[in-house]
Structure 1
Amino acid sequence: MRRFYSQVKEAPYTRLCSTKNILTVNGQFPGPTLYAQTGDTIIVDVQNKGNQNITIHWHGVKMPRYPWSDGPEFITQCPIKPGGTFSQKIVLSDEEGTLWWHAHSEWSRATVHGAIIIYPKNGTTYPFPKPQAEVPLILGEWWKSDIQEVMEEFMENGRDPNNSDAFLINGQPGDLYSCSRPDTFKLTVEYGKIYLLRMINTVMNNILFFSVANHQITVVGTDGSYTKPLKTSYIAISPGQTIDFLLEANQKPNHYYMAARAYNSAPAVPFDTTTTTAIIQYEGNYRPSSPPPLPQLPAFNDTSALTSFAGSLRSLASKDHPVNVPLKISTNLFFTLSINTLPCASNNTCEGPGGNRLSASVNNITLQTTPIDILEAYYRQINGIYGTDFPKFPPLAFNYTAASLPVQLRTPRRATEVRMIQYNSTVELVFQGTNLVAGVDHPMHLHGYSFYVVGWGIGNFDKDKDPKNYNLVDPPLQNTFAVPKNGWAAIRFKADNPGVWFMHCHFERHVSWGMGMTFIVTNGNHPDAKILPPPPDMPRC
C-alpha cells in the first residue's frame, strides 16, 4: 500500500505576464505525480485548505467495488468543504500505463490535476523496448481571469464560456507567447535513445492536435492500456484521454519544437487559437536553429485527421494482454448527445440562441444536482433523491444529424434519473451525436469501467448495417472516447463492478450544462460481488 498527502490550497502563479492565486495541490501546478504498480492500493489524504468545496477523481481507475473514493460531486460523494479532510482509498486492478487525477467539482480541475503512472508488476516488463527515460507531458491551459468567475459568468448569462488565454505543456505556454520563453519546458535527449512520453489532455473544452517537428512517434498505449504500436506524425487527444508514445531521438542534433493546438468542429463556437510549444534539445556541441523547426499540425477543423487517428488505435491483444470483448450482449442502450436550450428565467437576460440559455442532455434529459450524493442515497436506501427511469433509448426518434431540425426539439427534460444495470450484464451502448442547436464532438467518459470502442461513424447509426463492421478482434480499450461531430460510436463492457458510476462528456461546458447520467450496477449474489462499506470519514453535505 502506498500513501500520499495532498493539500489543496491557493498559491500565487505567474503566466503570460500575469500573477494570480490559483487552487493547487501541495503548491504545485500541475500537481504531484502519483507512482504505483498494477494492482496496488493507494491512500491519498486530502486536506482542503482552500476557500471552496473540492472533490478529487482518479480518472480511469476502476475502483472495484469501492465507488466511495471515485470523486464526482453529488454522484458518489458530497464535496470536501474548506477545512475538511478525506482519506481516499484508490484501488488499482488491471490498469497499466498512464492515468490521471483531477478535481471533479465545478471548474477546479483547470488547475487541480496531475498524472498517475502505473508500472508493470514485479517480474513483468513493458511490451516494447525499455526507454532511456519516461517523461509526463501534461497539456493544460491558462486563464488570466479567475476560473471560477469564468464558470459563474457563463452559467449566469447562458452562453458559451470565455476562452482560455493560452494552452500549456507541463505548466508552461512556451516561447510563442510573451513573457514565457525562459520557462519553456525542455526535454534533453541523447541521439539514438528512445524516450517514453506519457501525455494527458487536462484542458477544459478542447480536443488537441500534437506533434514533434521532424520526428515520427510510436503510440504504445492509451487510457491505462497497451496498444499495438502505431507509427504516426501527430496525435489527436481528447480532454480526459491519455496517450503513451515512444520518441526515438534519431534526427540531426538540434532543437525541435513539440507543439499542440486546438481542434474545433463547430464554426459558430469561438475557441483558443493559440499554439503551445516545448523543446526537444539534443545533447552535444552544435549551434541550434533559431527559432527551432515547428511541426506541421493538422488544420483546426480537420475532422478526418481526428477520426483517422482515433480509428487507428488497436488493443495489443497479446497473450499477456488479452482482449475480452463481450460477444453476446444482454443489455442494449442507445443514447443521444445533444446541445439544447432552456427558457431564460424571467428576471434574467440570457445570451444563448434566441435569448435562451444553452443546455445539454443525454437522451433529452439534462442532469440536475441533488441535495445529497446518489451513492449514499442508493446505499442507505434514501427515497426521493433520484429516479430509476433513465431511458434505454431516446424518448423521441428523429433524423438526429439533419442539417435543419425543428426548434421544438431543443428543449430537454430536467431530472435526476439513473439507469439500473444487473451485475455481470454485457452491455452495448451506442452514442449518437445530434445536430440540435449545433453538432459538435463529445468526448464521453465512463467512471468505474474501461470499455471497448467496437465501432464509430459519421451520420446516423444504422442498427442493421453498422454492427456488421464492428471490430470485435482488437478494438481499443479506453475510458474516454470522442464521439465525432454528427456521428456515433459503439462501446461494449461487462458490468462486473457493482456501484454508482457517473458517465459524462469531458468538455467541461457540456457537463456544466447537464450532459451526464448515472449508472447503478446492482450487487451480485456472492460476497465478492457487492459494494464494500463506506469509510468512516466520508464528507457530509
Structure 2
Amino acid sequence: MVSSRGFLSWLIFLFIGILGFIPFPAEAAIKKYQFDIQVKNVSRLCHAKPIVTVNGRFPGPTIYVREGDRVMVNVTNYAQYNMSIHWHGLKQYRNGWADGPAYITQCPIQTGSSYTYDFNVTGQRGTLWWHAHILWLRATVYGAIVIMPKQGTPYPFPQPNMEVPILLGEWWNTDVEEVEKQGTEMGLPPNMSDAHTINGKPGPLFPCSEKHTFAMEIESGKTYLLRIINAALNDELFFGIAGHNMTVVEVDAVYTKPFTTQTILIAPGQTTNVLVLANQVPGRYFMATRAFLDVPLPVDNKTATAIMQYKGIPNTVLPSFPQLPASNDTEFALGYNRKLRSLNTPQFPANVPLKVDRNLFYTVGFGKDSCPTCVNGTRLLASLNNISFVMPQIGLLQAHYFNISGVFKTNFPDKPPTPFNYTGAPLTASLGTVHGTRLSKIAFNSTVELVLQDTNLLTVESHPFHLHGYNFFVVGTGIGNFDPAKDPAKYNLVDPVERNTVGVPTGGWTAIRFRADNPGVWFMHCHLELHTGWGLKTAFVVEEGPGSDQSILPPPKDLPPC
C-alpha cells in the first residue's frame, strides 16, 4: 500500500514528468508508467508514414528510476501487431515474467489487451534501455532507462552539470515489417534502412530533413554526461563529436575505468556513458554516427548527425564535422574494446568467477535452406553449434514452470558436433545444420564460461550477443580460432569489462564468464535483428536453488495467454 505522502509524491512526479522533467525522490518508491502502443504518422525524411509508437512518441518515453525502486509499466496494445517489451539489461531476479522476449518468457500482448510489467531495480544503476522484442518492431518501439544511484551515493566520476540521453537508431521509409517479410519470402537479406538517426532524427545530411535534426545547447566550462544507446537493428556504430573528446565512464550500466577517446564503438543493444567538457571555441559542432562493418558486404554507410551548440551562437554558423574511423577500421574497433575495463573498486568490485564449473563452446555460422519459392532457390539461416533455433508457440518460461512437455528439449550441445578450421578458407557447406528448439540446462549457482567462436561458414562477420537475465565478464577475445590450451592463460581475471551485450569480432572469438544465480529461462541471441530472425539464438534453463528465495516467482495473473 502506498502512503498518502507517497501518493502525493507520485502525482507530482507524474505531472512534472508530463512536462518533460523528471525529479528523483529521496527514497525508494514505486514508479508507475503507462505505455500505449499505437500507430502514428511520423515524418523523418521527405514524407510522413505510419509507425508503431509508444504514447505517440518516437523514440518512446524515458523511464527514470532510482536503484532500489519498484517499477510498474502497464502496456496497452492498440496496434495491429502483437507486442512484447524487453527491459534490456535489467536482471529481473527470479522474475523472468517481466523480461519480455516474445515466446521466451511470455506470449505477446494481443491487440486490444494489456499487461503490467512489474519488477524491482536491484543492485544496478546507470543507462539501460527498453524495446519491443517481437518481429522487427523495435525499429521504432524503443526508449532509454535511466537508473540513478541510491540517494546520497555519488557517481565515481566528476558530477556532470547536465545529462542527455542519445539514442542511435535506423529509419525505413516503408513499413519495416513489410521489409522483413519481403526479405524472408525472397530468401535474401531485407533492404537496408534509409537513414540512421540520433534521437529519432537523421540530421541535415539527408534530403527534406532540415527540421529533423536533434540539437543540444551547452555552456562553456560545463560538463555533460551523454547516455548513448545503440537501438539500431543491424548496425554497429561509430559515434563522435567534432572538436571534443569523450571520457568513457560506464558501459551497459556498469562503471568502467575512465579513458578518453574521440570516437566510441557501440553495438546494437549496448549502452555507453561519456563525459564531455565544453572547452572548445564557442560554435556549433556536429555529433555524428555511421556504421562499422569490416567484411566485404554492402555497408550501410549513411551518416546521421546532430548538433552540439554553444549558448549564444546563432544557427547561421556552420557546424564542424568529426573525423570518424573508416567503416572497415578493424584496428580501431579491437583497440577500443581492449581499453574497456571494470572500475573494480571496493565499492564497485569486479567479482569475476575464478573457478569454472561448466565450459561451453558455441560456434556462430551461416547456412542455406532449400526454398523453391525464393529467388535463388534457397533461404539463409544462422546457427549456434549447427542448430538454427525454432521459436515455439508458447512461452518457454511457461512451459518450464508448468512442466509442459513437447515445447523444447534441453539437449543443446556444449560444443559443436564436428570440429573444423572455424576461420579458415570460406566454407559453403552448413556442416549439417538442423532446426530445433533446444536449450541448455545450467545448475543453479554454477559458474559458466562460454566461448563464442565466429566461423567462415559462408562468411565471417561480427556478432553482438546479448544474454538476458545476467551480466557477464568479458575475460578474453582474439582473432582466429580459440586455442583452449593457450588462450585462457591470456585472460583478464582482474578487471575485465562487465556487460550484458558483447561483440564477437569478425573471424575471432570472445570468452565470457557468469554465475548462474538467477533461476528461469533466459534468452541469448545475436542483437543484429537480421541474424536473430535467421535463427542465431538459444536459451538457458537455469535450475532453481534450495533456498526459499532461489526459486522462480509465480506468474502474474495478467500474464498474456498464447
- The TM-score range, normalised by the shorter chain, is over 0.9
Question: Is structure 2 residue 548 aligned with structure 1 residue 519?
Answer: no
**Partner residue, 1:350:** 375
Equivalent residue for 1:480, pick from 478, 487, 501? 501
**Partner residue, 2:68:** 39
Equivalent residue for 2:128, pick from 81, 99, 124? 99
Give the 3-state SS of the residue equivalent to 2:150 in structure 1. coil
**Partner residue, 1:188:** 217
In the TM superposition, 1:118-129 aligns within 5 A as 118-129=147-158
Equivalent residue for 1:441, pick from 444, 455, 462? 462
Deviation at residue 287 of structure 1 after TM alignment: 8.4
Question: Is structure 2 residue 168 aligned with structure 1 residue 136?
Answer: no
The one-letter amino acid of 2:499's match is Q
Contact 1:366 1:516 in 2 (8 A): yes
Equivalent residue for 1:388, pick from 404, 410, 417? 410
Give the 3-state SS of the residue equivalent to 2:393 in structure 1. coil
**Partner residue, 1:198:** 227
Contact 1:365 1:412 in 2 (8 A): yes
**Partner residue, 1:364:** 386
Q: Percent identity?
A: 50
Paired with 2:249 and 2:103, the residues of 1 have a C-alpha distance of: 36
Contact 1:255 1:288 in 2 (8 A): no
Question: Is structure 2 residue 484 aligned with structure 1 residue 463?
Answer: yes
The C-alpha deviation readout for 1:38-91, integer Å capped at 9, x for no partner, is: 122200000000011110000000000000011111111111110011011132
The one-letter amino acid of 2:310's match is Y
**Partner residue, 1:305:** 332
Q: 1:254 and 1:410, CA in 2 relative to 1: closer, same or farther beyond 3 A?
A: farther
In the TM superposition, 1:273-284 aligns within 5 A as 273-284=301-312
Contact 1:60 1:99 in 2 (8 A): yes
**Partner residue, 1:531:** 552
Contact 1:97 1:223 in 2 (8 A): yes
**Partner residue, 1:81:** 110
Deviation at residue 115 of structure 1 after TM alignment: 0.2
Q: Would you identify which runs of 4 or more consecutive aligned residues in structure 1 move more than 6 Å?
A: none
Equivalent residue for 1:338, pick from 365, 373, 393? 365
Paired with 1:297 and 1:66, the residues of 2 have a C-alpha distance of: 41
Unaligned runs of 5+ residues in structure 1 are none
Equivalent residue for 1:177, pick from 190, 197, 206? 206
Contact 2:71 2:118 in 1 (8 A): yes
Give the 3-state SS of the residue equivalent to 1:79 in structure 2. coil
The one-letter amino acid of 2:550's match is A
The one-letter amino acid of 1:174's match is G
Give the 3-state SS of the residue equivalent to 2:285 in structure 1. strand
What TM-score results when the alignment is normalised by the length of structure 2?
0.93
Deviation at residue 350 of structure 1 after TM alignment: 3.4
Paired with 1:287 and 1:62, the residues of 2 have a C-alpha distance of: 44
**Partner residue, 1:215:** 244
Paired with 2:385 and 2:122, the residues of 1 have a C-alpha distance of: 32
C-alpha root-mean-square deviation of aligned residues, in Å?
1.1
The C-alpha deviation readout for 1:296-331, integer Å capped at 9, x for no partner, is: 000011111111111210111111111100000001
Paired with 2:247 and 2:310, the residues of 1 have a C-alpha distance of: 19
Contact 2:213 2:307 in 1 (8 A): yes
Deviation at residue 285 of structure 1 after TM alignment: 5.3
Paired with 1:397 and 1:226, the residues of 2 have a C-alpha distance of: 38
**Partner residue, 2:11:** none
Deviation at residue 94 of structure 1 after TM alignment: 1.6
The C-alpha deviation readout for 1:441-483, integer Å capped at 9, x for no partner, is: 0000000000000110000000111111111111111000110
What TM-score results when the alignment is normalised by the length of structure 1?
0.97
Give the 3-state SS of the residue equivalent to 2:282 in structure 1. coil
Deviation at residue 371 of structure 1 after TM alignment: 1.9
Equivalent residue for 1:271, pick from 299, 319, 340? 299
Paired with 1:202 and 1:335, the residues of 2 have a C-alpha distance of: 26
The C-alpha deviation readout for 1:351-400, integer Å capped at 9, x for no partner, is: 4xxx4210001111001011211111100001000011000011110000
**Partner residue, 2:521:** 500
In the TM superposition, 1:25-36 aligns within 5 A as 25-36=54-65
The one-letter amino acid of 1:162's match is N
Deviation at residue 404 of structure 1 after TM alignment: 2.7
Paired with 1:428 and 1:247, the residues of 2 have a C-alpha distance of: 36
In the TM superposition, 1:63-74 aligns within 5 A as 63-74=92-103
Paired with 1:285 and 1:197, the residues of 2 have a C-alpha distance of: 21
Equivalent residue for 1:14, pick from 15, 31, 43? 43
Deviation at residue 95 of structure 1 after TM alignment: 1.6
Paired with 1:287 and 1:439, the residues of 2 have a C-alpha distance of: 45
Contact 2:474 2:513 in 1 (8 A): yes
Q: 1:287 and 1:384, CA in 2 relative to 1: closer, same or farther beyond 3 A?
A: closer
Unaligned runs of 5+ residues in structure 2 are 1-29
The one-letter amino acid of 2:546's match is N
Paired with 1:33 and 1:286, the residues of 2 have a C-alpha distance of: 29
The one-letter amino acid of 1:158's match is G
Question: Is structure 2 residue 91 aligned with structure 1 residue 62?
Answer: yes
Paired with 2:304 and 2:342, the residues of 1 have a C-alpha distance of: 30
Aligned length: 533
Deviation at residue 411 of structure 1 after TM alignment: 4.5
Paired with 1:262 and 1:54, the residues of 2 have a C-alpha distance of: 28
Give the 3-state SS of the residue equivalent to 2:38 in structure 1. strand
Contact 2:441 2:543 in 1 (8 A): yes
Paired with 1:240 and 1:359, the residues of 2 have a C-alpha distance of: 22
**Partner residue, 2:21:** none
**Partner residue, 1:399:** 421
**Partner residue, 1:320:** 347
**Partner residue, 1:4:** 33
Paired with 2:107 and 2:218, the residues of 1 have a C-alpha distance of: 45
